[in-house]
Amino acid sequence: MKIFSTVKVAALILGLGVSLPGHAKPEYTFVLGHLSLPGSLMQDAVEEIPGRVSKATNGRVEVTTNSSLVNQSRLLEGVRDGIIDMTIPLNGGYAGTNPEYQLALLPGISDSTIDNMMNIVKQPEYSKAVQQMLDKKYKAIELLYGAWCPQVLFSNREVSKIEDWKGLRVMAHNPGLARVINAVGGQPATLSMTERIPALQRGVIDGVVGDSCGAYGQGIYDVVKHASLWPLGSTPPWHLVMNKESWESLPPDLQKAIQDDFAEFQKEILAKWVKTADALPGMFEAKGVTWHQVSKEDAAKFGAMENVQPLFDVWYDAMKSRGAYKGDPRELEQAVRSVIVAQ
């Protein structure tokens, strides 16, 4: 990590008037630690970043990826402590300790189009809140963002009506979702991404709510028969963050080269999201999984105020007690809602 000692050697050689053959070796090298989730758009981005950064900087900056240096629940801490330089954390996994991340997952905010979610992520007050949290708690900055594939309920039995949730044992990926599942009669369970397939196979749970691309990549179609899209945080964002010291070790020209490339990369990420989301129902149907359309009436019952208001009340309290952002959380919520375009 940080600057290779070879930089000094190269400088000495150049000082002696000996030319180097381009940038055969990188001047800066960084480690991107990540959760391994084959098939997910996040994983695709992780795999593409090293090549893009190398090309954008003419080989002067190297990014290597590693999914084993830091546990998936400690990725931001790994960035803070200098174990890794970059990461894409799970927003849901950090929602309990960093309520800034949870706002984009709450019902009525995340249950929207990809364009709306990107409007939310770019909204000045929300962006400020996230950046303050990353800076204060993890000594990090945000460089790039995207979105997970639609969050879908995969289950062993059909769950297309509100009554079908009763008694259903479901893996939930964030505290807010767990509360809603409980409110509609389900039984939320906390598991890691890697545990969900074995848990379904053993009958420990009846269903999981999670990233549909990653679920497809893991072969979830082999252990479930039904899929349904409920208003349960259907378009959650992800954020690529980097240790501030690592970022600031780069000279301005390299920072600009990476930022310019990431601006184009972000457009490609969003275009791929739209294409993939359109294809997913057919992909699962081809594997024998029935893709159910939930009626507007049942979706409205699921997202009814009596089910979701307690989540916002808890979030308000969490922002006051644990949030790095010190503004009024209700005003932040309204600022975010103001950029959501009606569907």
CA-to-CA distance for 43 and 38, rounded, in angstroms? 6
Tell me the average pLDDT of the chain.
89
Give the burial string for 261-275 (b: 16+ CB within 10 Å, else e). Answer: bbeebbeebbeebee
For residue 34, what are the contacts with CB-CB under 8 A and spacing of at least 6? 42, 43, 46, 65, 66, 67, 75, 87, 88
Residue identified by tokens 């809602």 is 337
pLDDT for position 235 = 87
Identify whether residues 66 and 182 lie together within a single domain: no
**Structural domains in the chain (count):** 2
For residue 110, what are the contacts with CB-CB under 8 A and spacing of at least 6? 104, 117, 233, 234, 235, 236
- As a whole number, mean pLDDT of residues 286-297 equals 95
pLDDT for position 297 = 94
Identify whether residues 171 and 77 lie together within a single domain: no
28 versus 10: the higher-pLDDT residue is 28
Identify whether residues 178 and 34 lie together within a single domain: no
309 versus 59: the higher-pLDDT residue is 59
pLDDT for position 266 = 93
144 versus 235: the higher-pLDDT residue is 144
pLDDT digit string, tens, across residues 216-241: 998 999 999 999 999 877 888 999 99
Domain region containing 225: 151-234+281-337
Identify whether residues 252 and 295 lie together within a single domain: no
| Phi, psi dihedrals of residue 296, rounded to the nearest 5° | -60, -35
CA-to-CA distance for 187 and 167, rounded, in angstroms? 6
pLDDT for position 318 = 92
Identify whether residues 254 and 291 lie together within a single domain: no
> What are 247's two structure tokens?
């970022």
| Number of helices and strands in the chain (H, E) | 15, 11
- As a whole number, mean pLDDT of residues 289-309 equals 90
Which CATH number fits the domain that encloses residue 87? 3.40.190.170
Say whether pLDDT at 10 is over 60: no
Residue 343 within a domain: no
Identify whether residues 90 and 42 lie together within a single domain: yes
246 close to 85: Cβ distance less than 8 angstroms: yes
The pTM score is: 0.84
* Position 316 confidence tier, pLDDT thresholds 50, 70, 90: very high
pLDDT digit string, tens, across residues 74-96: 999 999 999 999 999 988 788 88
Say whether pLDDT at 11 is over 80: no
Identify whether residues 129 and 18 lie together within a single domain: yes
